[in-house]
Amino acid sequence: MKNRIAYKFKELFKTEPILVYSPGRINLIGEHTDYNEGFVMPAAINKMMIVAIAKNGTDQARIFSMDFEEEFAFDTDSFGPKKGHWATYIMGVTAQLKQSGYDVKGYDMVFGGDIPVGAGLSSSAALEAAVGFAIAAAFDFEIPKKSLIHYAQKAEHIFAGVQCGIMDQFASVMGKKDQVIRLDCRSLDFEYFPLHLPEHSILLIDTCVKHSLADSAYNKRREECQIGVTAAQKLKSEIKSLRDIDLNLLEAIKPHISQTVLNRCRYIIEENKRVLDSSDLLDKNDLKGFGEKMYQSHEGLSRLYEVSCPELDFLVDFTKDLDDVLGSRMMGGGFGGCTINIVKKSKIKPLQDSIKAAFESKFGVTPKFYEVSLEDGTGMMLV
């Protein structure tokens, strides 16, 4: 892929590019905790976006997408979002850099990747991070990594119109090989924890479905969490988010909130604790214990937070009694997308075969499988 992108760049622009990569991400545990100022545990993976770039001495940015086989150009002094178009992400990052005082002039760019779109692996965050890093490299800007992360996130907010948390961009940029990141979404403090998998692999199973509930349900969950916070603030004014509430305080506000809001809050409080407990388990290399936390996470997402769906529940339930699967849960916003599983390497093929047959029989859809490893975050590549 790297060679194809470099070759295409030279063919189009007749010059040598700088090459930058930025990986997609998985989240091992800590789902829907990010917008509640809680903890998440993402990692960068071996699926990535690659950007080839060079300054061109003009005021035009000329871009070619390998995936769409399409060219796009814009004036770096005058441009705006193009709703639904892939170039919006690139223009969004360019705008953030310019607004932050970096003198971005014309550049040529070719990009492509192997992050499956729609599987919840954050291809857009990877592209934004790669573009920011690439422009910085091409123009010799000294941009701190944390600033690049914020520029990428703001590009998504302002240009793409998606109010995402910080986790995706953070994991893309800050990932480390064979490590997970425990990220505090309030302070952005983070720590690395080892995930040693000599006999196991991380297998993503994509349901290939996305139920229409997803967007409206996401906003509804945020509202329900806030109702819990508001009720708690009447007892303790210093409460800022569900991050600050424990199960004892939740019990105290129980008479003042609905059962649904109680369930939502309970899940978030318990999930934050699971992330912290999971860090300790990884430090002890207790993969079995870590896998049990993944199953508990899914149970909470399905029963208390109610963001799962029959397809995701089916995949998780299918693995529960299998000794070769240490843990499984839905990953991402829910109502479709992937489950993330820790599976014995020697059993991956038979597991895929049996799940494929059972899933097709029940839902009439063929799932997709992605075996991934944990890799380093955004960086330069040799041409």
Burial class (CB in 10 A: 0-12, 13-18, 19+), 382: exposed
Cβ 5 vs Cβ 16: under 8 Å: no
Burial class (CB in 10 A: 0-12, 13-18, 19+), 198: exposed
- As a residue count, the chain comes to 383
Q: At what angle do helices 259-283 and 287-303 cross, to 10 degrees?
A: 170
Confirm whether 215 is a catalytic residue. no
DSSP at 367: -
Cβ 93 vs Cβ 128: under 8 Å: yes
- The strands making up 200-210's β-sheet, listed across from edge to edge, are 325-331, 336-344, 200-210, 368-372
Burial class (CB in 10 A: 0-12, 13-18, 19+), 353: exposed
Give the C-alpha distances (Å, rounded to integers) separating 110 from 84, 113, 137.
19, 11, 15
Q: How far apart are CA 302 and CA 309, in angstroms?
A: 8
Cβ 261 vs Cβ 232: under 8 Å: no
Extended strands (E) in the chain: 18-29, 39-55, 60-65, 70-75, 107-113, 179-184, 190-194, 200-210, 325-331, 336-344, 368-372, 379-381
Q: Is 94 helix (H, G, I), strand (E, B) or coil?
A: helix
**Which of the residues 34, 108, 168, 206 is marked catalytic?**
168
The two structure tokens encoding residue 252: 């105290």
Active site members = 168
